[in-house]
Every structure is written in C-alpha cells, then in structure tokens.
Amino acid sequence: MRSQGNGELIGTSSAIRELIEEIGRIATSDAKVLVTGESGVGKELVATAIHRRSPRASRQLVTVNCAGLPETLLESELFGHVKGSFTGAYRDKIGKLELADGGTIFLDEIGEMTLRMQGMLLRFMETGELQKVGSDRVTTRVNVRVIAATNKSLRDMIIKGSFREDLYYRLNVIHLTVPALRDRREDIPPLIEHFLGQFTRNGHIPKALAPGTMRLLSEYSWPGNVRELENVIERLVVTGRSEAILPEELPMEVRMHSNVSLRPKRERRRTVADDLYKRLTEERESFWAAVYPLYMEREITRGNVRDVVRKGLEEARGNYKIVAKMFNMESRDYKRFLNFLRKHDCQVPFKEYRQ
C-alpha cells in the first residue's frame, strides 16, 4: 500500500474548507456518516479524518471494502465465523465489526452489498449484536461508529430496488459529498505541491514544474480525481528526466484533454490581430512599421488587417481619423492609410461603429 501522506485533506477551495469544518463538527458525535462522491475524490480520507478527530481516535478504524468479495466471504469478514462453519474455516475468526469495537468501521463501496447483506447490516445497526457465521446464537454486542461510502447514487438504487430504503436512512444521518476535482480547480496547485513533497521525500530529487506544465495540469478534467493526479505526479517524480517537469513529460491524456472549451469564452486564445493591435496601441508602433510590412510580405492575411482595423474602429467609434492617430500615423498619412485599405480590400465599413 502506498503511503497516505499525513492523512490531512489538502485544499484551499471553499468546498474543501467547508468539508474540513463539517468533519470537525461531526467528528465528536457518534452519528453515522454517508460519504458520497466520484471515484478518487478522497472519501476514504474523509472517513479517516472523522475517526482521527473523534473521541474514538485511540481505538481502531477498520476498513471493509464491500466490493470484490463474494457475499459469504463478506459476511464472515464482517461478522466473523466459528470453526468448521464452511470449508476452510479451520478456527474461529473474529469479524471486522468486533475488531472495531469502541472505534469506527468504514464500509467502503456500500452500494455493492447484496440485499441480503444489507439486511444483516441493518439488523446489526439496530441492535449492535453480532452473530458469527456458523453460530446459532448472538455471540457479542459491540459499540461501533459506522461510516459508509459510495460513488453510486443510492437513491437511484432504491428506486431500482437494489438498495434498501430503511438501511439508507439509517446510514444517511449525516451526508457528506466530496466534489469532483474539476469542480474545485483551485485545489490542484496545493495538491500538486503536496504530492511533489510526498514523493520526493521517498528519495527522489526535488522537482519543480515548468510554467506550461501547471497550466495543463490545471486545465485537465481529472476523471479519476485526486487519485489520478497523485498517480501522475508520482510517475513524473520517478521517471522525470529534467529538474523541472516539462509539459511534454505529461501523460498524453493530460496534454490532449486540457481543451480550450473548458475555458470561459472571454479567455479565448489571443489572435494575430490581438497581438498586432497591442503593438500599435500599447507599444506605440506605427501601422507602417508593425502591420504594413507583414502584410506586404504575406506573413499576415487580409483578414488579419481587417480585424486590426475593426478593433481600432470599435475603440474610435467609427472614426478613421482617430484610428490613424491610434495607429501612430502622422496626420498627413491619413489619405495614404485609406488608399492602402481600399487598394487591398481591407476596408471595414465605419457606419456600424458610429454611435
């Protein structure tokens, strides 16, 4: 198993700050908690944080993954079994619920439990009584705080009849939802820093990010959430060739998927016309020096020139004389400017910019 860092939830977004506050508030109660959220968002970390901040912290936090075990094994895992109760049961075995006595049990992927197991869990939650597999009587009573997690919609499962509504209400006393990483992108830089620190502590050379790398990492959609980010950073630390992590070292999907459409519209890519316009108006270059030669050498198109003129007209409210001034031309060059535009079909009708 990989090291879990210090078990603290890293993040500066309001979503994470609220979550941490909420964890602090509920930790001291014994209320059952249901943690939901996509795969890899940090549900287990939330469960760990609740346990560690609770009065049960000195006792065990026992985790049971309800997925991937056949029903009979899950039953014995949770409740224990007595010797000879099934093939391979050579001795009595204590269940995880008993192991967690006085502490917390974390039932991960609760949505994967069969209806029969759900019934058994519900009975346990109502009574605190454990009946080992193969035993004909209740053997122990325990006091366990239950925290459950799922990335499924239990409500949908209830509608479909695959999750018990009564169990849902038992578990869902407090509901925490951990948002997807793409919905709290401010957390990406602090998480990257955290993981860089964590993995370089394991004997690797400290790494920094080249400027473009952080942008790509911040724009990617992270379908696998924090776990995916953690894996990407680990791979970069281990395999990175240079001191600074370069954009081209990032996995293909990160480089490809950081798509422009994720950006708000107003942050569209700068165009050729934007750059030219900036040279004219901010760097105060003359039209004859900044635009004319590029056009004549066919380095920019007629469309580019028109766009620059359009921007000027917008600013000058349709007045070509002011545009000429904005583009740092002498007043005697005004005619030459208009002639040039006409001759090369770069004119833009000024009327629509008049106010």
Ligand X SMILES: Nc1ncnc2c1ncn2[C@@H]1O[C@H](COP(=O)(O)OP(=O)(O)OP(=O)(O)O)[C@@H](O)[C@H]1O
Which stretches of the chain bind ligand X, using CB under 6 A? 4-5, 9-11, 37, 39-45, 151, 191, 194, 226-227, 230
Residue 239: Cβ within 10 Å count: 9
* Torsion angles phi and psi, residue 29, rounded to 5: -80, 175
**Tally of CB atoms within 10 A around 108:** 20
Query: Is the alpha carbon torsion for 281, 286, 290, 293 positive or negative?
Result: positive
Binding partner of 145, given Mg ion, ligand X, none, CB within 5-8 angstroms per partner class? none
Q: Please give the residue whose beta carbon sits closest to ligand X in the complex.
A: 42
- Binding partner of residue 37 among ligand X, Mg ion, none, CB under 5 to 8 Å per kind? ligand X
Specify which residues 140 forms β-bridges with. 130
Note whether 95 and 79 are within 8 A (CB): yes
By CB under 5 A, the count of residues binding Mg ion is: 1
State the binding partner of 4 from ligand X, Mg ion, none, CB within 5 to 8 A by kind: ligand X
Question: SS in 3 state form for 90-143?
Answer: CCCEECHHHHCCCCEEEEECHHHCCHHHHHHHHHHHHHCEECCECCCCCCEECC
Query: Between residues 10 and 147, which has the closer beta carbon with respect to ligand X?
Result: 10
Length of the chain: 355
Least distance to ligand X from the beta carbon of 11, Å? 5
Between 18 and 248, CB nearer to ligand X = 18
212 phi and psi angles, rounded to 5 deg: -70, -20
Which residues 15-44 are close enough to bind Mg ion by CB under 5 A?
44
β strands within 187-333, DSSP E? 208-209, 244-245
Give min distance, CB of 44 to Mg ion, in A.
4
Whole-angstrom distance, CA of residue 171 vs CA of residue 33: 6
Q: How far is the CB of 53 from ligand X (least distance, A)?
A: 15
Name the binder of 224 from ligand X, Mg ion, none, CB < 5-8 A by kind.
Answer: none
Residue 162 touches which member of Mg ion, ligand X, none, C-beta under 5-8 Å by kind = none
For residue 228, state whether it binds Mg ion (rule: CB under 5 A). Answer: no
Task: Answer with the entry of Mg ion, ligand X, none that 11 interacts with (C-beta below 5 to 8 A by kind).
Answer: ligand X
Q: Which is nearer to ligand X, 40 or 312 (CB)?
A: 40
Nearer to ligand X, 63 or 85 (CB): 63
